[in-house]
Amino acid sequence: MREKARPYTPSETGNGSLELRLASASGNVFGYLWSDEAKDCCGEDYAKILCPKGQGFGLDGLFLMQRPKSGIWTLEHWDEDGSNSFCSNGSRAALVIPGAPEGPLVEALSNGKNILLSRSEDGVGIRMPEGIGFGLSAAPMPLHMPAGFGWIGNPQLVLRVPSVAEVDLPVLAPPLRHHAAIPGGTNVNVVEVVVPGEARIRSWERGVEGETLCCGTGCAVAAAWLASTEGVHVWRFHTAGGETVKWHSSWTWMAVGGTFGFPGRSEGLELYLQTPRFSWGCNADSLSASPWNPTC
């Protein structure tokens, strides 16, 4: 049996510690490690150690990244429970990590999914993955409300409700998240249409096993489903984190507007796992950073 990895690996810092950087996108905070520094320690082990609230840092996920070279940039994401899954928000946020590829457009392979990241003064946008099996279908289980299902690199169940604020998500979501009709489970999103083209959304994510401030892939599937049912092809979503996500059916880009998280300078937060040291937190939505004040 493989010996369980420990979060301690020599790095270029020269002090025998592993450097973890944090970045925020739409209110969610992710941890990032360079794979050449992590060496033989796998992302599953690190995610289980670093992500959980209380014993870890309360991260929404952990990424291992390859050093940029010629060709497609490669990164891999793990949820808090150690499961491997595609994450659009964390993939966006990776672009503000020092050492990430430069330029206005970056091709990336995130958990085996081909994406395109767009860097501009407004922040970082993402072109969602496409391919065989991607798309919408009917909800695979009987439900008492309008619902749809989509695969966009991960599974998303979307339920339309009169008011997202009145939904008891910790009660509604878990049975659907683990439903036998969807092997491996699914993320669960509830949407409330405010006016045509504008909606509120809340998301319960597998792996995290709880509500998150924004699920980018959940927003994309919800928008595509509403476009198919309502005939409106531009949607703006108000997320639980208070930010706005925009989607248009004529292109597969998902854009996030506004300045979120930590407006300010772009130093990036550095955390050394041997002797934790905090400095700065960076943010994909504003391509910037400011002092980070952790509560852990």
Q: Which residues are catalytic?
A: 87, 215
CA distance 80 to 61: 6
Place of tokens 């949820």: 79
Pairing of strands 198-205, 62-65: unpaired
Percent of the chain as helix, strand, coil, to the nearest 5: 15, 35, 50
CA distance 76 to 139: 28
Angle at alpha carbon of residue 61, lines to 71 and 165, rounded to 5°:
125
CA distance 194 to 184: 32
Q: Which residue type does 36 have?
A: D
